Amino acid sequence: MRKTTPSQDFIRGIWNENPVLIQMLGLCPALAVTNSVKNALAMSAATFFVICCSSVLVSSCKRFIPNEVRISAYILVIATFVTLADMLLQAYAPVQHKELGAFIALIVVNCMILGRQEAFSAKNNVYRSLLDAIGTGIGFTIALVMMGGFREILGTGSFLEYSLFGANFEPWVIMVLPAGGFLTLGFILLAMGFVEQRKKTKTTLTAEQSP
Amino acid sequence: MNDQTLFSIFFSAMVVNNFTLAMFLGLCPFMGVSARVETALRMGLANIFVLVLTSLSAWVLNTFILESVPYLRIISFIIVVASLVQIVEMAVKKLSPTLFRQLGIFLPLMTTNCAIFGLAIFQTNRGYGFFQGLTFAVGAGLGLTLALVLMASIRESVEFSDVPEIAKGTGLVLIIAGTLSMAFMGFAGLL
């Protein structure tokens, strides 16, 4: 395994290896609950809680988990914290809990969380695993809020329920419907591909100009 | 107890609230296995099988065990799904080694397929009975298969067309999925 510094562990998940936009993990929640910024924030908060707690627990108990049953052990740890998150949301934010519905329980099968346990927490110490989990959580939040923002602004003409364009705005209802989720993520990926391509041509051009 | 008719549950799960295109469940195989129609079809059929088994076990758990300990629901469901997939894998390996080879890695990956876990959760939340749950599972499975096969056939024909460089890969798949999802919205008036 290549050596990384703690700050790299932290930053990596935020942009360069963003779980949703680059690695395409955890797409279910990213598409299903991002029809408003508020839902996106509630979902990211729950996921953030689960990934941080499970990373800490898995990395501190890694010596006691036999290699053969490690995946089941990780899933059990994750399921425990999802149950906790579910109960906490139900107690303190009942409205959001109702709106997100079954998708809170579905955090268990978010491949992003299991992926971080298997790829990072199982091999590193508690401090580094926590940094990695926080970074990945922030990356997930950025992606979700970005999508939620696009979809809410275009689909209802408001941001966090504050009206932006006044009464004359004709909302693009399609953006808050399921089809809008696929289209938004698709167009974000196209834009990222475009930027990437521009960067590549620029570097080849400069390389040719200065031999 | 929910009193929806079996017919409306079936059609709702299959086309109107299609698991993949309207509820975003089971997206991993939808992106990963939809390059060839043949593999997509096989994946869909395997999914139907596991979905039906999951629905049965979720019903058993709900009726006999979880009544008194509702907070163990998420944990017990995920264990049931994981062990079920393991059992199915062993059975398929023993009974039909050919099919086992064809399905490859996608069989064990079903454990983290949100469609399977989602089915158990939705079935519980809506309070479906035994037959309602079975119908729901078959409908959802057929819906998944339909979406997978449609997507695979579109991707097979797109392969030979001239797509801009930036759109190659996941971006294009997502936009096709968006278009398919819009088409499926046409079924909304059916029920």
Every domain of chain A and the residues it spans: 6-209
**What mean pLDDT do residues A70-79 have?**
89
B74, B113, B175: residue with CB nearest A79: B74
Give the pLDDT band (50/70/90) at residue A101.
Answer: confident
Instruction: Provide the pLDDT for residue B2.
Output: 66
Q: What is the pLDDT of residues A113-126, one digit of tens each?
A: 988 888 888 888 89
Task: Please judge whether A76 and B71 are an interchain contact, meaning their C-beta atoms are less than 8 angstroms apart.
Answer: no
Tell me the per-residue pLDDT of B29-88, one tens digit each, with 9 for 90 and over: 788 778 888 888 888 888 888 899 999 999 999 888 888 888 888 899 988 888 888 888
Instruction: Please state, in angstroms and rounded to a whole number, the distance separating the CA atoms of residues B81 and B74.
Output: 11
pLDDT band at residue A85, thresholds of 50, 70 and 90?
very high
The pLDDT, as a whole number, for residue B24 is: 87
Q: What ipTM score was computed for the predicted complex, to two decimals?
A: 0.84
Of B28, B112, B181, the CB nearest to A182: B181
CA nearest A174 in B: which residue? B182
Confidence of residue A142 (pLDDT cuts 50, 70, 90): very high
pLDDT of residue A210: 64
Looking at the complex, does the CB of residue B172 fall below 8 Å from at least one CB of chain A?
A: yes
Q: Taking residues A61-68, report their average pLDDT.
A: 87
Q: Is B66 part of the contact surface with chain A (CB cutoff 8 Å)?
A: no
* Cβ–Cβ gap B172/A86 under 8 Å: no
Q: How large is the average pLDDT for residues B93-99? A: 82
Q: Check CB contact under 8 Å for A109 and B117.
A: yes
Residue B191 placed within a domain? no
A32, A82, A197: residue with CB nearest B165: A197
Give the total number of structural domains in chain B.
1
Residue A90 contacts B where some CB pair is shorter than 8 Å? no
Q: Write the pLDDT tens digit of every residue in B163-179.
A: 887 777 788 889 999 99
CA distance B174 to chain A (A): 5
Residue A5 · residue A131 · CB < 8 Å: no
Cross-chain Cβ contact A109/B113 below 8 Å: yes
pLDDT at A131: 92
Asked if the model's pLDDT at residue B108 lies above 80, the reply is no
pLDDT digits (tens, 9 = 90+) for A159-185: 887 887 777 788 888 888 888 999 999
In a domain, B165, yes or no: yes
> What confidence tier does B1 reach under pLDDT thresholds 50, 70, 90?
low
Instruction: Please judge whether A28 and B172 are an interchain contact, meaning their C-beta atoms are less than 8 angstroms apart.
Output: no
Residues 22-51 of B with CB under 8 A from A: 22-25, 27-28, 31
Q: Is B110 a residue whose pLDDT tops 90?
A: no
Give the least confident one: A154-158, A206-210, B143-147: A206-210
Whether A83 sits inside 8 A of B24 (CB atoms) is: no
Does the pLDDT of residue A9 top 70, yes or no? yes
The Cα of B77 is separated from the nearest Cα of chain A by a number of Å equal to 10
For residue A2, pLDDT beyond 60: no
Asked whether residue B128 is domain-assigned, the answer is yes
From the list A102, A114, A189, which residue is nearest B118 (CB)?
A102
With contact defined as beta carbons under 8 Å apart, do B15 and B187 qualify? yes
Residue B144 has pLDDT above 80, yes or no: yes
The CA distance from A41 to B166, in Å, is 30
Chain B residue with Cα closest to A185: B174
Identify any residues that bridge with A158 across adjacent strands, giving them in sequence order.
Answer: A163
Task: Tell if the CB–CB gap between A108 and B79 is shorter than 8 Å.
Answer: no
Three-state helix/strand/coil letters over chain A: CCCCCHHHHHHHHHCCCCCCCCCCCCHHHHHHCCCCHHHHHHHHHHHHHHHHHHHHHHHHCCCCCCHHHHHHHHHHHHHHHHHHHHHHHHHHCHHHHHHHHHHCHHHHHCHHHHHHHHHHHCCCCHHHHHHHHHHHHHHHHHHHHHHHHHHHHHHHCEECCEECCCCCCCCCHHHHCHHHHHHHHHHHHHHHHHHHHHHHHHHHHHHHHCC
Average pLDDT over residues A52-67: 91
Q: Using pLDDT thresholds of 50, 70 and 90, give the confidence band for residue A83.
A: very high
Please tell me if residue A82 touches chain B, with a CB cutoff of 8 Å. yes
What domain range includes position B89? 6-186
Nearest to A28 among B27, B82, B185 (CB): B27
Mean pLDDT over the full length of chain B: 85
CB contact B117 to A (< 8 Å): yes
Any domain includes B154: yes
